[in-house]
Amino acid sequence: MLLLERTKSSKLVMLESLVRRLHPSDSDYAYFKEGYQRQVAGYEGEKWVDREWFDMPNLGCHYLFCNYEFENEHGFSHQIDTVSLTLKYLLILEIKNISGRVDIDEDKHQMIVTRPDGTTKSYANPLDQIRRHAQHLGVLLDQFKFPLPIEGALVFSNPATIIGNVPKNFPIFHSSGLRHFVQRLLKKYHEKLSEKQSAQLSKILLTKLKRQEVNPSFDLSRLRKGVLCGVCDFQVIMTYRGGTWQCMSCGARDKSAILQGLHDYRALIGNKITNKEFREFFGVESMDAASKILSRLELESYGKKRGRYYLIPSNINKK
Ligand SMILES: [Zn+2]
């Protein structure tokens, strides 16, 4: 049973908005664009591996958590790509989408990636990370007295990745190997939990879920303001006229275009907006028009008169 669906991380959401809004002449544009592309690749890779879970045989009573995040006993955050809870064991997956060749040196605690163009780069050893996740999840299981073994695996989502010299004593494989690996685990262990206990544990894991939020506060002058036209690939600013947003370039009229704008505002500036801030950012001159747009969105609001602010919910562009 899928208990926690895969969602974009708050970092990816922020970078997506940033790449759309940052002036291309900004000195950090290339840096953020690259970070964005890396995050997208990671997210796509994770979704690719997720498909392996559908119709996987013999799983029995089973709970799946994608992008599971929790805080350990010291208050440090753990972000785990996938957690699979069965009656026999708990499995954590670290998923990497890498093009080129990967070598992992346990003695030096490093992962070397050789790109198709021959350049190499060193990264932290992902196995260390998996072990850290396992250790702290183990503390959680002990705390609630669930005697469940924890297994970990490093999964490469890109079939073209060449897995080079890696430790033999740790499960490292392509996503197509996930089924085989899971079947081996199911054979290796006996049932340690009843279905009722595993349902209890799944609920505990959900209550311990704690998403990391990124709180950027970009200087407004670095950003492209306004409601941007989706048809024109967000390159053209729309005008508010006759109760709707219009693109003077392609002629599109879209009442809901403001939702995407507010989504970007939330991701880059914050989740609160006043009438004045709204007018300044979205280029609406009339206070009344701004009030009308904001009240039509039925956002929660707090305060009175000039101090009144509206809360932009995280799902604003899915309304
Ligand atoms: Zn347009």
At 57 the pLDDT is: 86
At 30 the pLDDT is: 96
Cα(248) to centroid of ligand 1, in Å?
A: 7
How far, in Å, CA of 71 to CA of 78, rounded?
6
**Nearest C-alpha neighbor of 1 from the set 80, 54, 38:** 54
Q: What is the pLDDT of residues 191-232, one digit of tens each?
A: 999 999 999 999 999 999 998 888 787 888 999 999 999 999
Cα(263) to centroid of ligand 1, in Å?
A: 19
At 319 the pLDDT is: 59
At 216 the pLDDT is: 80
At 164 the pLDDT is: 97
Cα(237) to centroid of ligand 1, in Å?
A: 8
Give the residue ranges of DSSP H helices in 106-228: 126-143, 178-188, 195-207
How far, in Å, CA of 272 to CA of 278, rounded?
10
Cα(236) to centroid of ligand 1, in Å?
A: 6
Cα(285) to centroid of ligand 1, in Å?
A: 21
Q: At 296, which helix (H) or strand (E)?
A: helix 287-296
Q: How does DSSP assign 210-279, residue by residue?
A: ----------GGGB--SPBPTTTTT-SB-EEETTEEE-TTT--B-TTHHHHHHHHHHHHT-SEEEHHHHH
DSSP state of 69: E
Cα(250) to centroid of ligand 1, in Å?
A: 4
pLDDT beneath 70, residues of the chain: 319
Name the CATH topology of 225-318: Arc Repressor Mutant, subunit A (1.10.10)
At 55 the pLDDT is: 81
How far, in Å, CA of 13 to CA of 262, rounded?
13
What values do phi and psi take at 68, rounded to 5? -80, 125
Listed by start position, the domains of the chain span: 2-207, 225-318
Cα(235) to centroid of ligand 1, in Å?
A: 8
Cα(257) to centroid of ligand 1, in Å?
A: 11
Cα(224) to centroid of ligand 1, in Å?
A: 16
Read off the tokens for 63: 């709970």
Cα(308) to centroid of ligand 1, in Å?
A: 32
Cα(20) to centroid of ligand 1, in Å?
A: 15
At 73 the pLDDT is: 87
Angle between helices 257-268 and 275-282 (to 10 degrees): 110
**Terminal Cα distance for the chain, rounded:** 26
Cα(244) to centroid of ligand 1, in Å?
A: 13
Cβ-based neighbours of 256, under 8 Å, separated by 6 or more: 319
- On whether the CB atoms of residues 198 and 84 are closer than 8 A, the answer is no
Cα-based distances in Å from 164 to 169, 176, 276:
14, 17, 57
